[in-house]
Structure 1
Amino acid sequence: MAEPKEEIVMTPSKKGKTTQIRIEKRKKLDLGLDDSVEHVGGGENAGLVVNKQAENDDMDLVRPQLQIGFNCFLVDQKTQHRMVESRRLKFWYVEGTEYLDQVTTAYEFFKELVKPENFPRDYVGFIKKCMKQMQKPEYKLAQKVDLEIKLLDEEDAPLSPEGIVSTILSERGRNAEDMFGLNREDKRPVEEILREKMLHILESAYPNVLEVDDLIKMTQADEAMVMLQLAELKQRDLVRDVENGKIVRHVLEDDKTTVEMVKQMPTIAANLQPTIAVITANYGEKLAVDAMMENKTTFVKFKSEGESNVYTMGYIGEHRVVSTKLPAIGHARAAQISSGNTTTRLLGTFQNIEHVFVVGIAGGVPHYTDYFKHVRLGDIVISSCDEKGYIYYYCEKVLRNKEGDIQFKMKTYGPREMDLQRVVEKLQDRSRKNPGKTPWDRYITEGLEILKNQEADFNRPPPESDRLYMGIGDDNVIEVQHPEAPESDINNHQGTPTIHYSPLGSGRFNRSEQMRLDFANRHGIMCFDTEFDQVLESIVGNRKDSFMIIRGVADYGDGTRNKEWGPYASLAAAAMMKAIIKMISNRYLSEDED
């Protein structure tokens, strides 16, 4: 006798502000004997069964095997009152389902559910779509899905990400075109906002100088207002005048640093020549790297016209190290070429460099269902060679072949010498054996003490500020909750960075998040930064065969969008750099001992 067919049975319940919808596969019931049934679908809805509302006690469930949550932001059409709902999909699977299959099933189920072209505009349609998806063979491993819907109070509702508007789910009587979240309003005085913008511009330009006219053009502010805020920045010793009335960001020195403005670099004695170079791209990154050094001196090779250069030399362990800051990096080709020139100048000035580190912030590649692959803000990603020997993939262009398949035109980079890769393998081994003894945590704490008087706050931001968004096409996004830690890992990494090892990437993806994630998936990339291809071209072109990239995760883009996490992420990356450098043997000291 053939096995009875399965039906998809939906059972609702409600407690306070929380509605729970259980959707599960059951063997075909004798519906005539079951008085809990409210409705049995027919026609295109055959196999769908709706139960009467259950008592909440009947809906208690054990911990789900996997879950993914998101927020819907709604506007009441009559009152224009904004409301936010938290929605969580909880999954249970047939016995014996592997973890990877659980992750894949949940992710694909969720992606199909939120496709914008057929996103349900009401609750009934949303629940019905969940039920219909459960009938599909590609979700055969999902045995039960629990949809938990909770109305959030306004004080608990998250603010919208800046500049994002989305068409999201609506309820009866509510507008379908809703603001994505509650408006983010900057209530600071206009003078304070302008002052912050000016300081950011000067930090991006550092060590180059700017004229007042440059600041007026870039801020598009009134000249008198710019001059007033410039005076305030000078009074706070954050900027200083140089030749001909030009302005430069003034570095606040700590008690272990001296800064010298020079026209030419002084001659460095042979025994004081640095053997390790560290390249940073923004002001906060360089402050964090320099906080890792002892006995350091900063030389600003100043030019009133053209590009200036800044070099900080000091010690990390037994190694003499030099750090520099690149000019602004971005999509403008002139900025990229300039960054390559600065790198070439660094490596030409200091001829004994053996290892090059590129250290700073980047954007993590999120995994919405797999906790172990998910990258969080504040985590650290260390460039690690893939099976092809590459640590960096740069996408120059996105193409389509005749069949319409996406193709990526790209450049790849990898070190010829594997010394740093072997050091990282040792670091991984030590971390596994002694997970509680991580030197980079100590270096972060020490760095915080050194950097406490800087304008930026390098402390770790509160966890609730780590918010994750998911593009669902056509410029629509939803806020997604982070994948929850399994019980075996639930107390690990709380308040400390998780370390990831993978190739890194960057490039141009036509503003398509899906293309970017596809590129990441193809090449095992766990974070993206801004375009560093010219920097890497210069490193390779100068025959520096040992190089590594270390990134602290500041956002889920390319590291440029989240000011709040940027300083801490910079410090975390710098602390990891110090841990790795202290594990590198110094062959010059070994030769002296011989």
Structure 2
Amino acid sequence: MPSFSEPQRRLPCDAYKVALVCILDVEHDATRMMLDEEHEAPPTPGAKHVYTVGRIGNYNVVIAKSIVAGIAPAAHLVTDMLQVFQKIRFGLLVGIGGGATNAPGPRGPTDILLGDVVVSKPEGNYGGILFYHKVPGGFVNDGYHNNPGPLLASSSAWLAQSHSNGRGNMAQYIREAQSKFRALDMSYFDFPGREHDRLFSSRYDHPKASGEDCRHCDKRQLVKRAPRLTHDPVVHYGLVASSDILMRDAHVRDTMRRDHGVLCFEMEAAGVSRSFSCLAIRGISDYADNHKNDRWQPYAALTAAVYAKDLVALIQP
């Protein structure tokens, strides 16, 4: 574990009101870097997980990390956390996901680039999180989950309006965090470069013999998209699909995008959202197809974490 900062003080468990839930190490590191102040962890006898605690803005927050991915482990993590930190007011699931971009949807195509952020949001009669499982040639809808509550719903709507007007602090937080990560010899959180953002036709499968790297993939199969003039991430709001199986199927991805308006795929939100009011915040690290690789994971985890900080900082205690 890298050394971020020395803990400043110790507070009782009841002092922590916000939970930030992570799975991967890069997700935890990016979220931990968002702390304005890190605290010494309080005693947690009987706890089954280790927690990082600190402050973001006016809130004392607890960062909870699961050891393994999946809906059930995430649900167990939240159950354990709420037994230890009993005054949690709301939670944010912070990490990476696969994007459903450029495919037709109920509101037309959405051009989601790697490094962008998708935030769960109720759509029509649907909740913000779609629980599903894959079957040969498609998927089965296991129901819609969402309980963000009025506080998170109104706060994320306010932040969306603020971002559309050129306000918000995400770009600043990214620059500050990357500077600190470089000082810790963790420059892999830097922006990977748009030349490594490749969306292939959903009809073109990744050649099995070429490993994870797409340098040998047929460039004629790349989808042409309008260039974006800035590296700053764009935040998209909509339906997040959650399953225990990693989505690596472009056909199923496009079908769920077209039929249900899904913007993102991940593996924990259905477990976390059952237990308390939360939003799923996912930095897009791949396109949920079999061209998936890990190059964008650190940066995508960082963009999700800075959105979480921007949101927490505006909510009044």
Cα distance between partner residues in 1 of 2:239 and 2:11 = 38
Structure 1 residues 556, 360: closer, same or farther in 2, change over 3 A?
same
Distance of aligned partners of 1:511 and 1:252 in 2 relative to their CA distance in 1, 3 Å threshold? closer
Q: CA–CA distance in 2 between the matches of 1:288 and 1:517?
A: 30
Which residue number in structure 2 is paired with residue 462 of structure 1? 193
Deviations 1:411-467 (A, max 9, x none): 32111612111112111222233x2x3311111111112222154611111110111
Map residues 9-408 of structure 1 onto 2, 5 A cutoff: 251-254=1-4, 256-258=5-7, 268=12, 270=14, 273-297=15-39, 299=41, 309-330=49-70, 336-367=71-102, 373-398=110-135, 408=140
Structure ID, larger Rg: 1
CA distance in 2, matches of 1:581, 1:413: 22
Match 2:161 to one of 429, 435, 441: 429
Q: Does the CA-based 8 Å contact 1:317-1:581 persist in structure 2?
A: yes
Q: Letter of the aligned partner of 2:190 in structure 1?
A: N
Determine the C-alpha separation between the residues in 1 that align with 2:148 and 2:238: 17
Paired residues of 1:275 and 1:353 also in contact (CA < 8 A): yes
Matched, 1:572 2:303: yes
CA distance in 2, matches of 1:317, 1:463: 32
**What is the CA deviation profile of residues 11-56 of structure 1, one whole-angstrom value per residue up to 9, with x for unaligned ones?**
xxxxxxxxxxxxxxxxxxxxxxxxxxxxxxxxxxxxxxxxxxxxxx
Query: Secondary structure of 2:273's partner?
Result: helix
CA distance in 2, matches of 1:510, 1:383: 17
Asked whether the equivalents of residues 27 and 301 of structure 2 are also in contact (C-alpha less than 8 Å), the reply is yes
Query: 1:516 offset after TM fit, Å?
Result: 2.7
Q: Structure 2: where are the runs of 5+ without partners? A: 208-216
The corresponding residue for 2:211 is: none
Cα pair distance change 1:307/1:356, threshold 3 Å: closer
Aligned equivalents of 1:511, 1:559: Cα separation in 2: 5
- Change in Cα spacing, 1:389 to 1:470, as seen in structure 2 (3 Å) is same
Greater relative CO (CA pairs within 8 A, separation 6+): 2
- Does the alignment pair 1:522 with 2:259? yes
Cα distance, 1:338 vs. partner?
3.1
RMSD, matched Cα: 3.3
Q: Quick one: structure 1 residues 300 and 555, their matched pair in 2 at CA, closer, same or farther if it must change by over 3 Å? A: farther
Whether 1:419 and 2:164 are equivalent positions in the alignment is no
**Partner amino acid for 1:521?**
R
Q: What secondary structure sits across from 1:470 in the alignment? A: coil
For the residues of structure 1 that align with 2:19 and 2:290, how far apart are their CA atoms?
Answer: 22
Q: Give distance in 2, aligned partners of 1:349 and 1:398.
A: 38
Separation in 1, partners of 2:18, 2:113: 29
Tell me the amino acid that sits aligned with residue 343 of structure 1: V
Which blocks of at least 5 consecutive residues in structure 1 are unaligned? Answer: 1-250, 261-265, 331-335, 401-405, 587-594
Distance 1:439 1:473, change over 3 A: closer
TM-superposed CA distance for 1:551, in Å, is: 0.8
Q: 1:510 to 1:360 in 2, by over 3 A?
A: closer
TM-score by length of 2: 0.83
Counterpart check, 1:481 vs 2:223: yes
SS in 2 for 1:554: strand
Per-residue CA deviation, residues 339-384 of structure 1 (Å, 9 max, x unaligned), is 3222210111101111110001111112169996111111111111
Paired position in structure 2 for 1:200: none
Deviation at 1:386, TM superposition (A): 0.8
Cα offset for 1:536? 2.8
Shift in alpha-carbon separation, 1:369–1:412, aligned structure 2, 3 A: closer
Distance 1:474 1:465 in 2: 18
Letter in 2 for 1:328: V
Q: By how many angstroms is 1:523 displaced?
A: 1.6
Structure 2 vs 1, CA of residues 522 and 394 (structure 1 numbering), >3 Å: closer, same or farther? Answer: same
Mark the CA change 1:469 to 1:285 in structure 2 (over 3 Å): closer, same or farther.
same
Q: Which is strand-richer, 1 or 2? A: 1
Contact 2:50 2:65 in 1 (8 A): yes
1:559, CA displacement in angstroms? 11
Amino acid in the other structure paired with 1:378: G
In structure 2, the residue matched to 1:503 is 239
Q: Give 3-state SS (helix, strand or coil) of 1:411's partner.
A: strand
Question: Aligned partners of 1:560 and 1:554: how far apart in 2?
Answer: 11
Residue 410, structure 1, aligned to residue 142, structure 2: yes
CA contact (8 A) 2:82 2:88 kept: yes
If the length of structure 1 is used for normalisation, what is the TM-score? Answer: 0.46
C-alpha distance 532-456 of structure 1, shift in aligned 2 (>3 A):
farther
Which digits, 9 at most, give the CA deviation of each residue in 1:272-307, with x for residues without a partner?
A: x1110000011111111111112213549899xx99
After superposition, the C-alpha distances for 1:234-288 in whole angstroms (9 at most, x for unaligned) are xxxxxxxxxxxxxxxxx1212x33499xxxxx87165xx1110000011111111
- Closer, same or farther in 2 for the Cα pair 1:471/1:481, shift >3 Å? closer
Alpha-carbon separation, structure 2, partners of 1:443 and 1:583: 14
The whole-number CA distance in structure 1 between the counterparts of 2:52 and 2:41 is 6
Q: Which one-letter code corresponds to 1:412 in the other structure?
A: Y
Q: Deviations over 1:218-243 (max 9, x none)?
A: xxxxxxxxxxxxxxxxxxxxxxxxxx
Provide closer, same or farther for how the CA distance between residues 573 and 474 of structure 1 changes in structure 2, counting only shifts above 3 A.
closer
Instruction: Describe the shift of the 1:379–1:422 C-alpha distance in structure 2 as closer, same or farther (beyond 3 A).
Output: same
Q: What is the SS of the residue equivalent to 2:202?
A: strand
Partner-residue secondary structure (3-state), 1:550? strand
2:181 maps to a residue whose letter is L
Q: Tell me, in whole angstroms, the C-alpha distance in 1 between the residues paired with 2:39 and 2:60.
A: 12
SS at 1:526 equivalent: strand
- Give the share of equivalent positions with the same residue, in percent: 24
The 3 A distance-change label for structure 1 pair 267 and 296 is closer
CA distance in 2, matches of 1:466, 1:409: 30
